[in-house]
């Protein structure tokens, strides 16, 4: 552990372990750019410095490219492997000899698809670019000496679907991290969308606002990171970088105590609401009458009730908009309900950003359009209130891990080079609940730190569903400046019939904004509830060319594609301290359900009007290739599954070869596969990921290719035949009952049908290895050197599959997997048993035939 001086400076408190950094000894990249990157914008910076900047706007981010000593061999090896693959195809067709010709034909088709899929994945990676925000330049340009700021406004959207699958504590921590972020209070508003329409979410938000009156000033006073209290108080020794170390220990204890009480209040909300409702219902209703759910002010809750009835249940209730915290210029409206404390915040800004609760109206007669519908409802409601130029959305299980993150995104939006043409800024996704070994590849750093940096060198990264800042007019379907026409028509056929909303769209396009929203009135709230009603976006452009796209399970990818197709670009923002963190499903079944939805939605996109082959009239060529890869990659699993089941041929008494000459075939395969991993080795060097990250990515892809991906392909076939889309299933964030084990979910095996193929593949390969051992014993004296070589090469393939399925084998073991050495004992035992059974059967059959 680093000393307090090294971690926090001279004022960090040398003797107090509370002020030391838990992560002080963690490895950090060499500088912001990493040792394999070099500055790529020196000429631009020199020109900007000489000219004084365009219209007074400085360069607000730095650009880096991979050093030539690494990039050129990387590109050359891709080209060499492409030639090798083509030669391999030619050789296979020229030597079309096999013991099973139909299988040979299938394998050739599979190899062609593998080569095509690999090329789609590799071509967009020719020019990786890393972009780092320049926070100092941003502050110098937009922060004024009097403490105010000229930064544009941001509306922050948080979406939650269910208070059970998505625990309220996670959601409220997300909200608290937003309220405490380092962004001008008067230019930031937070909107929580509750798709359940449950009173408990609204009252939890009120409790959160009360606690925020203590938590937010505490964070500002002591420069707290991260600003989600649950994550912060889990730190064994939080890093202190504030200016009042002598007060910190007392403040820390007080706030921690208040937070524990806050959690108790959240836990008691369910029973409190139930008791209150029972009390009101006993006075208001007679025998057999509907039992309403009552708010604390003595009025009936307009959303879903505890005892449901037709117009007060999840999926059928009126739209709700409630302003929990008003704009800071008018002060928060909590009154005497705000937290009381004795902490000294005399020199600290105690104001809070605006906070709004939204539950869009739902009706069984209308499609709710899942998360995309919720986001579009927030988009419309926020336009009537704050109408900020920029929007950032979060899933409720994510929180702001770096309080500077919102400012970092602004560095790209306001930069003089391509800022006006940047539609969205995507951040990497990080997770802090993943097991240390990352058994199921949840961190997915090969994608977030490799593929996304590669796309950053093209038209930009794709939208990944959370942690992404948008330009509002880009979501409205407005073209970028270089393609935009004058006198854009804002009509009700496209945007809906709300006159105030149409007026807000015109103001957004013309950048006519006031930093102070209109006063909260019954008329304004009624209009906001109207634009979030179930039928408002029916027969309009919403979900097609306006807002987040409907009728697809992965609204994120297709929404990004639509925006890129209009000519906008996007940027990928990396920060030394991760911008956001979230919760990932560490249970295998939950993880695979998530993959089914993602991959199924990708296939839906391919068979829609947003097909990358025909859609996106202004999208760049290699960007189109990357989107095509995102939409067809699940098909690869069909051929992987075919190959993974091929070891059953060991059960055939005679020798069976998929390709002759077999030795040359296997050598070709080994060379081509080895080249993939050499290219991967170069990728992980410039991406900055570890071999473990890379290897977990390979292992989980094999598990997914024998379970989730084929299931997604099957779903797509059913969709094409029945016109029923991928079923949207909220990924459960609830953990197993064992509260003493943080990773209890990891060892909870939940069997579902999609795991059957993976289980069959595992059993087939265990059996194949056992049979191979048995054949070695039986035929060792009779086999030629060539036959022994062929057997060894075939066995190598079986072992490779077993190694890739190792995490799945651990999953089957359940809690026994806490000691992986048990598996290393069980597998040889299984091989030996199969071997002995094979030898015994062979002897019995031989004896019977001889007799």
Distances from the Cα of 260 to the Cαs of 206, 229, 253, 267, 500, in angstroms?
16, 10, 11, 11, 43
- Compute the distance between CA of residue 549 and CA of residue 560 in angstroms, rounded to an integer: 9
Interior angle at CA 232, CA 228 and CA 236, nearest 5: 165
The two tokens of residue 318 are 């009126």
- Compute the distance between CA of residue 492 and CA of residue 540 in angstroms, rounded to an integer: 7
Q: Sign of torsion, CA 678 679 685 689?
A: negative
Answer yes or no: 556 catalytic.
yes
- Compute the distance between CA of residue 294 and CA of residue 199 in angstroms, rounded to an integer: 8
- Other C-beta atoms lying within 10 Å of the C-beta of residue 290: 13
**Residues 432, 387: contact at Cβ < 8 Å?**
no
Catalytic residue among 449, 556, 693, 745: 556
- Compute the distance between CA of residue 838 and CA of residue 833 in angstroms, rounded to an integer: 9
- Compute the distance between CA of residue 769 and CA of residue 798 in angstroms, rounded to an integer: 7
Which phi and psi (to 5°) does residue 396 adopt? -70, -15
- Compute the distance between CA of residue 510 and CA of residue 512 in angstroms, rounded to an integer: 5
Question: Between β-strands 468-471 and 390-395, what pairing exists: parallel, antiparallel or unpaired?
Answer: antiparallel
Give the HSE-up count for residue 413: Cα atoms under 13 Å, Cβ half-sphere. Answer: 25
The two tokens of residue 53 are 């900047």
Residue with tokens 């209130």: 385
Answer yes or no: 195 catalytic.
yes
Instruction: Give the helix/strand (H/E) hosting 39.
Output: strand 37-39
- Compute the distance between CA of residue 400 and CA of residue 179 in angstroms, rounded to an integer: 10
DSSP letters spanning 758-782: HHHHHHHHHHHHHHHHHHHHHHTTT
Residue with tokens 């110098």: 140
**Residues 528, 323: contact at Cβ < 8 Å?**
no
Task: Give the three-class secondary structure for 565.
Answer: helix
**What is the DSSP-derived secondary structure letter of residue 614?**
T
**Residues 557, 601: contact at Cβ < 8 Å?**
yes
Task: Give the three-class secondary structure for 378.
Answer: helix
Task: Give the three-class secondary structure for 585.
Answer: coil
Catalytic residue among 195, 251, 397, 745: 195
Which phi and psi (to 5°) does residue 393 adopt? -120, 150
What lies within 8 Å, CB to CB, of 474 at 6+ separation is 423, 424, 480, 563, 566, 568
**What is the DSSP-derived secondary structure letter of residue 97?**
B
- Compute the distance between CA of residue 746 and CA of residue 814 in angstroms, rounded to an integer: 8
- Other C-beta atoms lying within 10 Å of the C-beta of residue 607: 12
Nearest alpha-carbon partner for 758 in 632, 585, 640, 673: 640
- Compute the distance between CA of residue 412 and CA of residue 152 in angstroms, rounded to an integer: 13
Nearest alpha-carbon partner for 216 in 247, 251, 244, 265: 251
DSSP letters spanning 518-564: PPP-HHHHHHHHHHTSTTTTTTSSBTTTBSS--SSS-HHHHHHHHHH
The two tokens of residue 15 are 């003797």
Exposed/middle/buried for 847, CB within 10 Å: 0-12, 13-18, 19+? Answer: exposed
**Residues 400, 572: contact at Cβ < 8 Å?**
no
Crossing angle between the packed helical segments 708-722 and 636-645, to the nearest 10 degrees:
130
Catalytically active residues are 195, 556
């Amino acid at each position: 552990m680093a000393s307090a001086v090294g971690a926090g400076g001279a004022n960090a408190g040398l003797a107090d372990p509370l002020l030391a950094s838990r992560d002080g000894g963690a490895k950090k990249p060499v500088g912001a750019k990493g040792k394999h990157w070099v500055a790529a914008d020196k000429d631009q910076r020199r020109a900007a410095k000489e000219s004084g900047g365009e219209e007074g706007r400085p360069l607000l981010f730095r650009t880096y490219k991979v050093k030539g000593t690494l990039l050129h061999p990387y590109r050359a090896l891709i080209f060499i492997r492409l030639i090798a693959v083509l030669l391999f195809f030619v050789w296979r067709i020229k030597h079309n000899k096999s013991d099973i010709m139909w299988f040979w034909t299938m394998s050739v088709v599979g190899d062609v698809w593998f080569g095509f899929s690999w090329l789609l994945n590799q071509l967009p990676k020719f020019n990786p670019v890393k972009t780092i925000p320049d926070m100092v330049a941003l502050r110098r340009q937009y922060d004024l000496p009097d403490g105010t700021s000229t930064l544009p406004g941001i509306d922050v959207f948080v979406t939650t679907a269910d208070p059970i699958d998505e625990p309220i504590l996670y959601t409220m921590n997300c909200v608290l991290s937003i309220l405490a972020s380092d962004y001008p209070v008067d230019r930031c508003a937070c909107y929580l969308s509750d798709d359940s329409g449950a009173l408990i979410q609204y009252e939890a938000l009120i409790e959160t606002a009360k606690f925020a009156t203590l938590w937010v000033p505490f964070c500002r006073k002591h420069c707290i990171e991260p600003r989600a209290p649950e994550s912060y108080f889990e730190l064994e020794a939080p890093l202190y970088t504030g200016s009042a170390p002598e007060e910190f220990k007392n403040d820390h204890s007080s706030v921690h105590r208040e937070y524990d009480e806050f959690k108790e209040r959240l836990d008691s909300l369910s029973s409190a609401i139930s008791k209150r409702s029972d009390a009101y219902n006993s006075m208001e209703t007679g025998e057999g009458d509907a039992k309403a759910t009552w708010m604390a002010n003595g009025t009936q809750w307009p959303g879903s009730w505890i005892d449901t009835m037709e117009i007060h249940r999840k999926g059928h209730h009126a739209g709700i908009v409630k302003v929990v915290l008003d704009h800071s210029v008018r002060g928060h409206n909590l009154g005497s309900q705000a937290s009381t404390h004795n902490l000294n915040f005399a020199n600290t800004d105690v104001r809070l950003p605006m906070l709004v609760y939204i539950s869009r109206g739902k009706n069984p007669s209308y499609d709710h359009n899942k998360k995309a519908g919720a986001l579009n409802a927030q988009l419309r409601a926020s336009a009537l209130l704050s109408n900020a130029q920029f929007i950032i959305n979060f899933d409720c299980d994510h929180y702001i891990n770096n309080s500077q993150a919102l400012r970092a995104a602004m560095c790209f939006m306001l930069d003089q080079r391509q800022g006006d043409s940047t539609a969205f800024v995507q951040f990497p996704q990080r997770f802090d609940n993943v097991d240390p070994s990352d058994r199921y590849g949840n961190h997915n750093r090969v994608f977030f730190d490799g593929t996304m940096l590669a796309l950053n060198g093209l038209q930009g990264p794709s939208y990944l569903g959370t942690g992404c800042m948008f330009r509002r007019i880009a979501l409205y379907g407005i073209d970028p400046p270089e393609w935009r026409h004058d006198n854009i028509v804002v009509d009700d056929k496209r945007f809906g019939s709300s006159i105030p909303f149409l007026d807000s769209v015109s103001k957004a396009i013309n950048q006519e904004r006031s930093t102070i929203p209109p006063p909260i009135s019954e008329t304004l709230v009624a209009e906001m509830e109207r634009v979030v009603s179930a039928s408002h976006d029916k027969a309009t452009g919403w979900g097609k060319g306006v807002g987040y796209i409907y009728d697809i399970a992965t609204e994120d990818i297709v929404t990004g594609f639509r925006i890129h197709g209009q000519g906008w670009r996007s940027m990928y923002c990396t920060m030394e301290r991760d911008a956001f963190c979230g919760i990932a499903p560490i249970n295998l079944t939950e993880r695979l359900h998530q993959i089914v939805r993602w991959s199924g939605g990708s296939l839906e996109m391919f068979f829609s009007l947003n097909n990358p082959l025909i859609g996106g009239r202004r999208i760049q060529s290699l960007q189109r290739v990357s989107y095509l890869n995102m939409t067809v990659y699940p098909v690869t699993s069909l051929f992987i599954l075919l190959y993974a089941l091929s070891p059953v041929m060991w059960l055939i008494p005679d020798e069976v070869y998929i390709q002759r000459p077999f030795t040359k075939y296997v050598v070709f395969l080994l060379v081509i596969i080895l080249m993939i991993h050499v290219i991967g080795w170069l990728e992980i060097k410039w991406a900055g990921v570890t071999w473990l990250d890379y290897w977990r990515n390979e292992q989980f892809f094999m598990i997914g290719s024998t379970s989730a991906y084929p299931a997604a392909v099957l779903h797509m076939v059913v969709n094409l035949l029945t016109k029923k889309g991928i079923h949207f299933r909220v990924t459960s964030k609830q953990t197993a009952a064992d509260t003493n084990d943080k990773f209890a979910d990891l060892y909870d095996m939940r069997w579902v049908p999609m795991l059957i193929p993976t289980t069959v593949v595992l059993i087939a390969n265990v059996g194949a290895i056992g049979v191979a051992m048995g054949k070695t014993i039986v035929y060792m004296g009779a086999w030629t050197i060539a036959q022994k070589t062929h057997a060894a090469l075939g066995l190598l393939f079986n072992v490779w599959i077993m190694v890739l399925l190792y995490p799945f084998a651990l999953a089957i073991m359940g809690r026994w997997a806490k000691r992986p050495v048990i598996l290393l004992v069980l597998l040889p035992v299984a091989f030996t048993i199969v071997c002995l059974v094979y030898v015994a059967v062979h002897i019995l059959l031989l004896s019977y035939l001889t007799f």
